[in-house]
Amino acid sequence: DGGITQSPKYLFRKEGQNVTLSCEQNLNHDAMYWYRQDPGQGLRLIYYSQIVNDFQKGDIAEGYSVSREKKESFPLTVTSAQKNPTAFYLCASRSGGHQPQHFGDGTRLSIL
Amino acid sequence: AQRVTQPEKLLSVFKGAPVELKCNYSYSGSPELFWYVQYSRQRLQLLLRHISRESIKGFTADLNKGETSFHLKKPFAQEEDSAMYYCAPQGYGGSQGNLIFGKGTKLSVKP
């Protein structure tokens, strides 16, 4: 089930390095989301975008940046300012209204 | 403040036993309520939503507006139900359209 594609599946970051996680969707959804999933913490919202060229901070945006230049793409950059980046990152999208979110397979980021 | 409480981090039952995963929420307005499930090595996916009033894989969830609860129930648990379950209310439009996730309950069904 294509829908939302996240890449890579695994990613390693060196100290002081920025890394970018890819998220692409072919569902023609307007809204896209990035979550961070840590054991025992559930899912926490990093950034979201309701329309192209617009995005808002979620609950834990510090140390992250995003862009939304195309409807189908919502890349997340984990910057060197994020001191605890090791986590599982999930991207999601939805069409609108009360429609549910659809999730990608996730990217696991680790520190070298 | 909007929040979701799933009081059990881990729920362990034997196959064939009834199971109830609790969810209490605090949310202004009238949210739609969802249960999402994450099986091992699979992506997070929608299990059911209140507005559909469906039974999915034998699970049902009843919305109690007075108690602001949306507990997930299944009368006879199966081993394949073992997974992580998240309760999530969602508003309508703008930032209200964001899901508020609970911390999740890990369900383990033993043979």
CA A61 remoteness from chain centre: 11
What is the residue-averaged pLDDT of chain A? Answer: 92
**Digit-coded pLDDT (tens) for B47-95:** 999 877 788 899 999 888 888 999 999 999 999 999 999 999 887 655 6
**Interface A:B, Cβ pairs < 8 A:** 49
Q: pLDDT averaged over consecutive 10-residue blocks of chain A (112 residues)?
A: 88 90 96 92 92 93 97 96 92 86 94 84
Residue A69 burial (10 A CB sphere; 0-12, 13-18, 19+): exposed
Look at residue B96 in the predicted model and tell me its pLDDT. 59
Look at residue B92 in the predicted model and tell me its pLDDT. 65
Top pLDDT among B38 and B93 is at B38
Instruction: Inspect the interface and report whether the beta carbons of B101 and A40 lie closer than 8 Å.
Output: no
Instruction: Flag whether residue A94 sits within 8 Å of chain B, measured between CB atoms.
Output: yes
Instruction: Inspect the interface and report whether the beta carbons of B43 and A103 lie closer than 8 Å.
Output: yes
Instruction: Flag whether residue A39 sits within 8 Å of chain B, measured between CB atoms.
Output: no
In three-state secondary structure terms, A52 is coil
Instruction: Inspect the interface and report whether the beta carbons of B102 and A90 lie closer than 8 Å.
Output: no
Instruction: Inspect the interface and report whether the beta carbons of B49 and A100 lie closer than 8 Å.
Output: yes
Compute the distance between CA of residue B36 and CA of residue B38 in angstroms, rounded to an integer.
7
A43 to chain B: closest CA residue: B101
Look at residue A66 in the predicted model and tell me its pLDDT. 98
